Chain A
Amino acid sequence: AQKVTQAQTEISVVEKEDVTLDCVYETRDTTYYLFWYKQPPSGELVFLIRRNSFDEQNEISGRYSWNFQKSTSSFNFTITASQVVDSAVYFCALSEADSGTYKYIFGTGTRLKVLA
């Protein structure tokens, strides 16, 4: 069955430290999509990135980078030189395409606290 595991419930770092948020997924589909969303204290869910199962290239966007490894079923998210504004809950999600439903399966989220 499909599943997304974010084992880190909460992480605290000091500003300017690098931090990696882990995401491990389970799926039987060969075609699937992975996502990261950010939920700041204000409560909205902000889309960060989408990856399909055929594209294992790592992605970098400013201080954010993502490492997708099918061999370990992981899609980890790294923030370089963290800032207080990065404090939020981060969700990883999986969408399976073979089944044709395109529903998202969300992880339980990792709360990141960046201390000044």
Chain B
Amino acid sequence: DAGVIQSPRHEVTEMGQEVTLRCKPISGHNSLFWYRQTMMRGLELLIYFNNNVPIDDSGMPEDRFSAKMPNASFSTLKIQPSEPRDSAVYFCASSSWERGGTDTQYFGPGTRLTVL
């Protein structure tokens, strides 16, 4: 079975450019999470969706960041304009969320973003 798919795997861009990261969750999963990992701050949850609806975006650092999930099979995380401090590895994870319980989050391979 295919796991969580993320693209691109690596992205190098210049400050001020728009960056779009993509994620395809595991088929059948109804929750999707976007994380950022840096040496300084570790793993941070940016936003998560249940059934394509954003539930908690309190981790989104600022208005330059936006995320969408137009359908159950696809999500994007966009940074516009990008800044050097956005350089990090961005992970997408998916799980099957059910009220009264939780399920394991399975992570994609990550996108390593470098903003020059």
Contacts and interface: CB of A to CB of B under 8 A. Distances in A.
12 contacts: A37-B107, A43-B109, A44-B109, A44-B110, A45-B93, A45-B110, A47-B105, A91-B43, A97-B100, A101-B56, A104-B45, A104-B105
Interface of A: 33, 35, 37, 43-47, 50, 91, 95, 97, 100-104, 106, 108-109
A108 B100 CA distance: 27
Interface size range of chain B in the complex? 20 to 34
Given A43-B89, A45-B91, A103 B106 contact: no
A103 B55 CA distance: 10
- Majority secondary structure, B binding face: strand
A102 B31 contact: yes
B71 interface: no
A27 to B, nearest CB: 13
Given A104-B33, A106-B42, 11 more contacts: A43-B110, A44-B107, A44-B108, A44-B109, A46-B107, A47-B106, A95-B102, A97-B102, A102-B31, A102-B102, A104-B105
